[in-house]
Amino acid sequence: MNVLVTGGTGYIGSHTCVSLLQAGHSVVIVDNLSNSSRETLEQIESITGEEVMFYENDVTDEKTMDEIFTHHSFDGVIHFAGFKAVGESVNLPSKYYRNNLLSTIVLADLCLKHNVEKFVFSSSATVYGENASPMVESMELLPTTNPYGETKAMSERILSDISKANPNFHVSLLRYFNPVGAHESGLIGESPNGIPNNLMPYVTQVAKGIREKLSVFGDDYDTVDGSGVRDYVHVMDLAEGHIAALEHLEEGVRVYNLGTGKGTSVLELVEAFEQVNQVPVPYDIVQRRPGDLATCFADASKAENELGWTAKRGIQDMCRDAWNYQSRSSQEALSENER
């Protein structure tokens, strides 16, 4: 298939492009490089040996996106492009609603205009809100604690309504749990701008000496050791889940959890990281982070039953590959007084 991948130079997008190319699909990437770099294109090509067509473009710009759709006959779209910093979304809600919702609507309308029938959407477990784990696709969604999460829930509803009104527009909504790790080559991975919000990139930066120590956000939750429990899923497993979703997408609207079905606590992850990589990760226990759930993990059975997809890589693989990427990256350790 010829696949349009929006946000394809981003963390999950770039890994999915590698999997698409290695599965024999062709890829056209559109990305405005607001949170990624053009260098990722070279890495994708060096890993796969395949050329990638790239447009530096804003997905909300209907005119230029229409020209791209006219120039290429896409068989499907995978829509990753979107702002995703939870904290920032609380401070800049209109930026998030405008970008994340308008990009989704523009793409869906252009799919209808150009008869592109398959649309895979990058959603998030955040849409479950404060439901109790394991999270099941049929659950009623509850309000999230932030505009970012609301844009995911709203985008799901927008795409579902458009599909119901247009029998030839089929949608697969993929709810990611906690994507971590990197391609085994270490050439692509997660490199957030500034101070990492998420656990794993913060851990790898502490291990490399870029940050002094990890702050563990609370150890008084009702969990195995008091720290937060999440369903970490290797980004390559996630990428392969997109291929399965695209290739199985026939009729109507499908919703799938992409997770391992297993919960791991912050302290368990830190311990696994230190053991696998033989590198210390000093930490302090601090106050809980507002909005955090104690526990969030998937019921992963639907993707297994309907897509034949399950996560194959474990926590050790995630820790090894995340560290391999960080170790190879040019980010240097800060001096004592810079940390």
Catalogue the active-site residues: 148
**Residue 257 interacting with ligand WQD (CB under 6 A):** no
**Residue 199 interacting with ligand WQD (CB under 6 A):** yes
* Binds ligand WQD (CB under 6 A): choice among 10, 228, 259, 263: 228
The stretch near ligand WQD (CB under 6 A) out of 159-167, 213-221, 247-255, 308-316 is 213-221
The count of other CB atoms within 10 Å of the CB of residue 286 is: 12
Q: Which residue has the tokens 């090509």?
A: 45
Residue 310, token pair as written in the block = 């399950």
Three-state SS at 266: helix
**Residue 113 interacting with ligand WQD (CB under 6 A):** no
Of 18 and 216, CB closest to ligand WQD: 216
b or e along 142-174 (b: 16 or more beta carbons within 10 Å of the residue's beta carbon)? eebbbbbbbbbbbbbebbbebbeeeeebbbbbb
Of 110 and 216, CB closest to ligand WQD: 216
The stretch near ligand WQD (CB under 6 A) out of 208-216, 235-243, 245-253, 323-331 is 208-216
Identify residues 70-99 at the interface with ligand WQD (CB under 6 A).
Answer: 84, 86
* Binds ligand WQD (CB under 6 A): choice among 9, 36, 126, 204: 126
For residue 7, the minimal CB distance to ligand WQD (Å) is 12
Q: State the Rg of the chain over Cα.
A: 19
How far is it, in rounded angstroms, from Cα 181 to Cα 2? 27
For residue 255, the minimal CB distance to ligand WQD (Å) is 15
With CB under 6 A, what is the number of residues at the site for ligand WQD?
19
x/- mask, ligand WQD, residues 274-303, rule CB under 6 A, reads: ---------------x--x-----------
Cα distances (angstroms) measured from residue 111 to each of 254, 274, 294: 17, 46, 39
Closest residue to ligand WQD, based on beta-carbon distance: 228
Of 216 and 245, CB closest to ligand WQD: 216
**Residue 260 interacting with ligand WQD (CB under 6 A):** no
For residue 151, the minimal CB distance to ligand WQD (Å) is 10
Best CA proximity match to 140, nearest among 164, 156, 161, 117: 156
**Residue 124 interacting with ligand WQD (CB under 6 A):** yes
Identify residues 151-180 at the interface with ligand WQD (CB under 6 A).
Answer: 176, 178
Long-range contact set of residues 137-140: C-beta below 8 Å, sequence gap at least 24: 137/175, 137/255, 137/256, 137/257, 137/299, 137/302
**Residue 216 interacting with ligand WQD (CB under 6 A):** yes
Residue 172: alpha-carbon gap to chain centroid = 15
Residue 42, token pair as written in the block = 């070279």
How far is it, in rounded angstroms, from Cα 261 to Cα 167? 33
> Could you tell me if residue 266 is left (phi over 0), alpha (psi between -120 and 50 degrees) or otherwise beta?
alpha
**Residue 324 interacting with ligand WQD (CB under 6 A):** no
Binding site for ligand WQD (CB under 6 A): 84, 86, 124, 126, 176, 178, 197-199, 202, 214-217, 228, 230, 266, 289, 292
